[in-house]
Amino acid sequence: MFDLRQRLEARRAAGRQRFRRLTDGPVGPLQRVDGREILTFCSNDYLGLASHPEIAESLRRATRIYGTGSGSAHLINGHTRAHHALEEALAEFTGRPRALLFSTGYMANLGTVGALLSRGDSLIEDRLNHASLIDAGTLSGAKRLRYAHGDAEAADLQLARAAGNCLLVTDGVFSMDGDLAPLPALAEAAQAHGAWLMVDDAHGIGVLGPGGRGSLSHFGLGLTEAPVLMGTLGKAIGTAGAFVAGDEDLIEYLIGAARTYLFTTAMPAAIAEATRTALGLVVREDWRRERLQQLIAQLRAGASALDLELMPSATPIQPLRIGDSARALAAAETLWAQGILVPAIRPPTVAEGQARLRITLSAAHEPAHIDRLLDALATIRTPQ
């Protein structure tokens, strides 16, 4: 018999039970949350595109053409001209021969790793990889070898222990720390051992590199160095879904072998059309990435003046480590009382003793919003 009440009570006592807030209206820095107008610093809408009128109009136009649902999986009757056009646009955007759409980033990772690896193969991964990559490795049946966060030398040692087909997988930008993986060194290590490098660039696409083409582009790396690239469309791109980009053989293989592609309904075609519009804005409007960097610099300078040490990050993810989960929750409540939403991230999302406030910035924020956040942060205290 499942005693879920006892489990819930234990989770609450440990400060690990989650709850949902109710938001009204479009995504933006100022939102109505639980009936109050709140200044938010918790969205992955890094470029401020999630409520862009041009994208919304593209969605409306496409809905009149394609309706609101795709009706079936891609391989049955759900792959429309809109989906195909978006895949071609994503291939051009990433500088790769082909791209393949998935419903979510989680499904893209599970499907890709599961298709490439099986028992007798090896998966090498960073200890702080996203949960989807961890689960993908477990479900694949491959031998899993983890290495210390961001340590390319440790990855190289694990690669030397690998057997069978070997896939080295890493986040491009780590979602809870905001730091970048050492992709050049990881690519070199993978090539030295005859392994493939797969990069989950959910938090780098749109934000980093020329034209927002991501963390691989930021480092000047391409298909040769990283044969498998996964990116999401629901963060900086501002819509929904995900993709994997690679060479012709990879994409053709995934179409027939990735279970999370084969056995699920395709995203609505209207979302695909809206995403293609968003992709054009990502490439053309460099000012969004420039503004982000200005806001990041403003926040980091202000936090330093308050003797608040943000974790090292040059991305919109700017974590403030608190340590204890209860203290992190109390800090988040202090901010909430002042009309600011910054989530407290605690175990199991991060390791024990690593609870933090995860501040995320958007190009839609104003400098005055950063000043208001800094004034509120001055009212909390963190361990020195």
84 is catalytic: no
Which residue type does 335 have? Answer: L
From 70, 103, 140, 175, active-site residue: 175
Among candidates 368, 116, 376, which has minimal Cα distance to 261? 116
**In the beta sheet, which residues pair with residue 317?**
360
**In the beta sheet, which residues pair with residue 73?**
265
Give the residue ranges of DSSP H helices in the chain: 4-13, 53-66, 81-94, 105-116, 131-140, 152-161, 183-192, 215-218, 248-257, 259-262, 269-284, 286-305, 325-337, 367-377
CA geometry: angle 246, 249, 252, nearest 5 deg: 95
70 is catalytic: no
Identify whether the C-beta of residue 279 lies closer than 8 Å to the C-beta of residue 256: no
From 203, 218, 365, 369, active-site residue: 203
Q: Give the pair of three-digit tokens for residue 200.
A: 């989950």
The answer to the question of whether 18 is labelled as a binding residue is: yes
Classify 381 in phi/psi space as left (phi over 0), alpha (psi -120 to 50) or beta: beta
Residue 122 has phi, psi (to 5 degrees) of -135, 140
The answer to the question of whether 106 is labelled as a binding residue is: yes
Classify 317 in phi/psi space as left (phi over 0), alpha (psi -120 to 50) or beta: beta
The answer to the question of whether 175 is labelled as a binding residue is: yes
Identify whether the C-beta of residue 178 lies closer than 8 Å to the C-beta of residue 319: yes
Among candidates 102, 99, 139, which has minimal Cα distance to 117? 139
143 is catalytic: no
Q: How many CB atoms lie within 10 A of CB 282?
A: 24
The answer to the question of whether 60 is labelled as a binding residue is: no
From 235, 325, 362, 365, active-site residue: 235
- Residues flagged as binding site: 18, 105-106, 130, 175, 203, 232, 349
Binding-site residue positions for pyridoxal 5'-phosphate: 105-106, 175, 203, 232
Catalytic residue IDs: 175, 203, 235
Question: Could you tell me which residues are annotated as the binding site for substrate?
Answer: 18, 130, 349
